[in-house]
């Protein structure tokens, strides 16, 4: 089952502007569990991608790329992503196993949501 965002009252017509507004409001989310951001999202998450950047320990997921679904066909996929950095690195092997279970790889599911919901956000950037 794919987990979407909460019901929204007005459709998001400019995904880029919306995601940049999340980045601009990142102070509201830093230091809090990812579930706080999830509850605020007005766009469904399409896919996720675990990222490790500690060369000497590939088991650590220091950040995750989140790709959002958009109905606006003028926006390209590369314009619909946020990168979330974690205060404490996550288990990259666990996240990768969850990502590998779906087609396309990394499709957002209940299992992915459970894996990330308690992770504490360190920073958020629009890609």
- Domain assignment of residue 74, given as a range: 15-126
Residue 88 has pLDDT above 70, yes or no: yes
Domain count across the chain: 1
- Confirm whether 110 is domain-assigned: yes
Q: Could you tell me the pTM of the whole model?
A: 0.84
Residue 78: the pLDDT is 54
In a domain, 6, yes or no: no
pLDDT of residue 77: 52
pLDDT of 85: 97
Residues 8-66 have pLDDT tens digits of 457 788 888 999 999 999 999 999 999 999 999 998 899 999 998 788 888 999 999 99
115: helix, coil or strand?
Answer: helix
Six-digit token pair at 51? 């990222």
Take residue 25 and report the two structure tokens written for it: 């409001």
């Amino acid at each position: 089952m794919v987990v979407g965002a909460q019901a929204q009252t007005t459709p998001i017509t400019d995904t880029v502007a919306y995601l940049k507004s999340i980045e601009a409001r990142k102070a509201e989310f830093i230091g809090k569990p990812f579930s706080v951001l999830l509850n605020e999202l007005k766009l469904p998450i399409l896919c996720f991608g675990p990222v490790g950047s500690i060369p000497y320990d590939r088991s650590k997921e220091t950040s995750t790329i989140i790709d959002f679904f958009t109905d606006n066909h003028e926006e390209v996929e590369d314009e619909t992503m946020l990168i979330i950095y974690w205060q404490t690195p996550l288990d990259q092997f666990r996240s990768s196993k969850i990502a590998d279970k779906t087609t396309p790889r990394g499709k957002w599911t209940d299992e992915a949501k459970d894996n990330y919901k308690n992770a504490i956000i360190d920073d958020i950037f629009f890609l």
